[in-house]
Amino acid sequence: MDQIELISLPNGIRVVLEPMPYVKTAAFGVFVGVGSVCETKENNGISHMIEHMLFKGTETRSAKELADITARLGDTANAYTGKEYTAYYGVTIAEELFKLIEVLSDMLLHSTFDGKALSKEKGVICEEIDMYNNSPDDLVHEMAQKRAWQGHPLSFQISGTKGVVRGMTREKILTFYKRMYRPERMVLSVAGAFDKKKVMEYLRALFCPEGQDAAANVKKTGLAPDKRYGKYYGDKDGTGKQGVESAQEMTDTPVQNRTVAEYTRNFSKSFQDISQLHMNLVFPGISYLDESRHIATVFQSVFGGSNNSLLFQKIREEEGLAYSVFSYGCPYAKEGLVHIDAVTAPNQAETVFDYALEVCNTMREQMISEETLSTHKALIRTEAILSKESVQSRMEGNGRNVLLRGRVIDREEELAQIAKVTAEDIQRFAREVLCPEKMSVCLVGETRSAGRKLMRKFEQLG
């Protein structure tokens, strides 16, 4: 924790640095607080479109030249759009870190959003939408989220709809980009082998230039200081630097400045001519800022997040009813969901459904053993330590935490909180979350017979 530094540039962009001098690689990422939750029905998918367009050419480089450069750096430069943020990142050997930073900054600050490239990329994204819609694994999750948060931007599909994507204009995209890609929404994260002083000088020169260059940068990108956010990101001591202690006070971020999404219990299904049925059971969960998040981490591991979980052992190992069965959490800034996902033969769906509810009831009514609790805590700790060996994992974790939580997260403190979780905590959490009367059901695949049976069971639970 002492090695991690959180620094604020004069224009409000936050920088989080974690040196790892014993490695020979380095990772750099830019995390922007913009995603599908920031959109409307009329522009849904625009955040994802911007992510694509930033790879399509800058004022000085074509898309092919960008691809050539990133290939020489290891071909790891990539990006992804989520519901609450967008990330641009790469990993390379230590001596090429500055080139990676320069290329990503060029893409972020000087992309041209060329009209011809935009026309082509609309077609690419429409193909991507079709790909996800034709994948029952992806579709069942997207449908479950859409119906659970219906009427709120959190329900939007990240890639948008084909009709909206085809109607996007360069002007609309630029307007949205300039409004959202602001300093207070941006976090730069570096982890690996690097010199902190040199990296900070380089980041400041690229993302917060001074003098006439700064004026030109503001005109092109809008990256000017925003005094409204001074109380969170301001320079407290005149050095432009904020230590870890003060960073932990920054608990509000622009990502959280939105309305709460209200959960709606529902039953939905989509027929696909495939041999299996994809089933997703959904419960309202907690946000990633909730004080129970450490309990939720252990709960998920015990419930369905590992091969040693109750769901996996019961439905796959004991009964042999599904190859794939697991649970996962989807926490957001103000709300969250807990999912159970199972893939099975349609004629076994009703039995899998019953066993899933049986496991839920077991979690609610029976306290897990100390041995089980100890096993899953050890699993979580091992996974956390293994991830710490990766420069990309550290870079991404630091960037996300500063953007979404407003502070650096002490990994050892998090593990210490995990260690304090008790069997009583797990049971209490299960009773609060795994409520059958609140459960939603989403089905994709051969739904004709199984869908009717599961609909009746769903109605009985409510």
Alpha helices in 162-209 (DSSP H): 162-166, 170-180, 196-207
pLDDT at 214 over 90: no
- Asked whether the domain spanning 267-461 has the same topology as the one spanning 5-256, the reply is yes
What number is the average pLDDT over the span 90-97?
98
What number is the average pLDDT over the span 19-23?
94
What number is the average pLDDT over the span 192-201?
96
**pLDDT of the residue at 233:** 25
Could you give the 3-state DSSP secondary structure of residue 286? coil
**pLDDT of the residue at 350:** 97
Length of the chain: 462
**pLDDT confidence bin for 238, thresholds 50/70/90:** very low
Higher pLDDT pick, 254 / 358: 358
What pLDDT, in 10s, does the model give residues 106-141? 999 999 999 999 999 999 999 999 999 999 999 999
Comparing 170-174, 312-316, 362-366, 446-450, which segment has the lowest mean pLDDT? 446-450
**pLDDT of the residue at 462:** 79
What number is the average pLDDT over the span 241-252?
34
pLDDT at 216 over 60: no
Q: Which residues contact 311 (CB under 8 A, 6 or more apart)?
A: 303, 304, 325, 326, 327, 340, 356, 359
pLDDT at 299 over 50: yes
Asked whether the beta carbons of 85 and 135 are under 8 A apart, the reply is no
**pLDDT of the residue at 255:** 61
Higher pLDDT pick, 213 / 434: 434
> How many CA atoms are closer than 13 Å to the CA of 388, on its beta-carbon side?
14
**pLDDT of the residue at 254:** 56
pLDDT at 228 over 60: no
**pLDDT of the residue at 244:** 31
**pLDDT of the residue at 209:** 81
**pLDDT confidence bin for 23, thresholds 50/70/90:** very high
Residues 186, 190, 196: CA angle, nearest 5 degrees: 115
Nearest to 144 by CA among 52, 279, 255: 279
Domain ranges (residues) in the chain: 5-256, 267-461
Looking at domain 5-256, does it have CATH number 3.40.50.280? no
- 46-53 vs 115-133: helix axis angle to the nearest 10? 120
Fold of 267-461: Cytochrome Bc1 Complex; Chain A, domain 1 (3.30.830)
The tokens describing 189, both together, are 């994260």
**pLDDT of the residue at 204:** 96
Strands across the sheet containing 186-192: 78-81, 86-93, 25-32, 186-192, 14-19, 5-8, 241-242
DSSP assignment letter at 260: P
